[in-house]
Amino acid sequence: MTHQQPLERCAIVTGAAGGIGAAVALELISRGARVMVADIDSQALERFADDHADLAGSFRCAVVDVASTEDWQRLADEARSAFGPIGILVNNAAISPKRDGAKVPADQMGRAEWDAVLAVNLTGPFIGVQTVFPDMRDAGWGRIVNMSSQAARTGARVAGVHYGVTKTGLLGLTRTLAHEFGPYGITVNAVAPGRIMTPMAAGVPEEVNRQWAAQIPVGRLGQPEDTAAVVGFLASEEAGFVTGATIDANGGSYMG
Ligand SMILES: NC(=O)c1ccc[n+]([C@@H]2O[C@H](COP(=O)([O-])OP(=O)(O)OC[C@H]3O[C@@H](n4cnc5c(N)ncnc54)[C@H](O)[C@@H]3O)[C@@H](O)[C@H]2O)c1
């Protein structure tokens, strides 16, 4: 058996300008994929493009709001004309609004904030899946990876109820789509990272992250590359028998 066959596919990674998404984009490129680096933050995308100019032929940046159906359509069209049919989708973009570095208690949460988090974290991935499905169905091959969270396993402690609900919802989306899409050669999986050092995790006081690290069996917080390695495997040719799964990547802080 050949290990790690080259992943000569077109991939979309959302929220890929920084944090975990950027590491995922680089992991997929290292495996041979051509990647649409999609993000709402145009300045962060410019930084990504500058930092990785040596890989220029392997990715393209696109300013996209994952909550917008029109943006998804534009992104998919651009992906197809740049790199061919879409074979891999990593739904990674998410928001986790805080107030003064702390979660907003459920009883004080406004409807607008609830709606915004649902739109980006849960509806966005659903629209994304609908957008790329025809390419994967026609090819008889596809890999969809939804970025959930340990919050879906334990309930959200640091993040708000809206965030926890969306990350749990992604597990339902993952399992149901695994049933529907399996017959087309499309796998659908979720990754549930623990605490990973990214701008999102840096949004809380340092003490919170220190306490978190003290409870992790491997003795440290995660790095974006720890998550990206798991996504890379799930997106690979070799992972075709893994579907509907949630892979916990958390240093042992939650063991299902
Ligand atoms: N960092 C952690 O500790 C942690 C833990 C568990 C799960 N996660 C999940 O991992 C994923 C990445 O998290 P991160 O820590 O890298 O976060 P991050 O905030 O560093 O990165 C998220 C990216 O998503 C982009 N984004 C936000 N709204 C968007 C929208 N509407 N459309 C397109 N892009 C948008 C942001 O601009 C940003 O580049 C998220 O799904 C998050 O919930 C993170």
Digit-coded pLDDT (tens) for 22-68: 999 999 999 999 999 999 999 999 999 999 999 999 999 999 999 99
The encoded tokens of residue 80 equal 């197809």
For residue 189, give the nearest of 132, 242, 151 by alpha carbon: 242
pLDDT of residue 3: 63
What are the extents of the domains in the chain? 10-249
Alpha-carbon span 182 to 53, nearest angstrom: 37
The per-residue pLDDT for range 193-211, each reduced to its tens digit, is: 999 999 878 878 888 889 9
Q: How far are the Cα atoms of 73, 78, 222 from residue 227, in angstroms, in the given order?
A: 27, 27, 8
* Ligand 1 centroid distance, CA of 37 (Å): 13
pLDDT at res. 199: 83
CATH number of 10-249: 3.40.50.720
The pLDDT of residue 2: 58
Give the residue, out of 24, 39, 166, with the most ligand 1 atoms within 8 A of its beta carbon, to mutate for a pocket test. Answer: 39
> Atom 8 of ligand 1 has which residue's CA nearest to it?
149
Q: Which atom of ligand 1 is nearest to the CA of 20?
A: 16
Pocket (CB within 6 angstroms of ligand 1): 14-15, 17-21, 39-41, 44, 64-67, 92-95, 120, 147, 149-150, 193, 195-196, 198-201
Chain-centroid distance of CA 72 in Å reads 15
Surface-to-core class of residue 24, CB atoms within 10 Å of its CB (0-12 exposed, 13-18 middle, 19+ buried): buried
Q: What is the mean pLDDT of the chain?
A: 96
Tell which one of 14, 20, 246 to mutate to probe ligand 1, the residue whose CB is within 8 A of the most ligand atoms.
20
- Residues contacting 115, CB < 8 A, separation 6+: none
Please give the positions annotated as active site: 163
Q: How many CB atoms are closer than 10 A to CB 6?
A: 11
pLDDT value of residue 205: 86
Q: How far apart are CA 5 and CA 223, in angstroms?
A: 25
Task: Answer yes or no: are the C-beta atoms of 110 and 131 closer than 8 Å.
Answer: no
**pLDDT at residue 172 tops 70:** yes
pLDDT tens track for 77-119:
999 999 999 999 999 999 999 999 899 999 999 999 999 999 9
How far does the centroid of ligand 1 lie from the alpha carbon of residue 187, in Å?
22
Q: 3-29, pLDDT tens digit by residue?
A: 678 899 999 999 999 999 999 999 999
Give the 3-state secondary structure of residue 24.
Answer: helix
Q: Rounded mean pLDDT of 121-130?
A: 98
Predicted TM-score of the model (pTM) = 0.97
> Phi first, then psi: what are they for 2, rounded to 5°?
-85, 130
Instruction: Locate 121 and state its tokens.
Output: 């974290």
pLDDT at res. 232? 98
Instruction: Using the predicted structure, report yes or no on whether residue 136 has a pLDDT greater than 70.
Output: yes
Contact between 163 and 121 under an 8 Å Cβ cutoff? The reply is yes
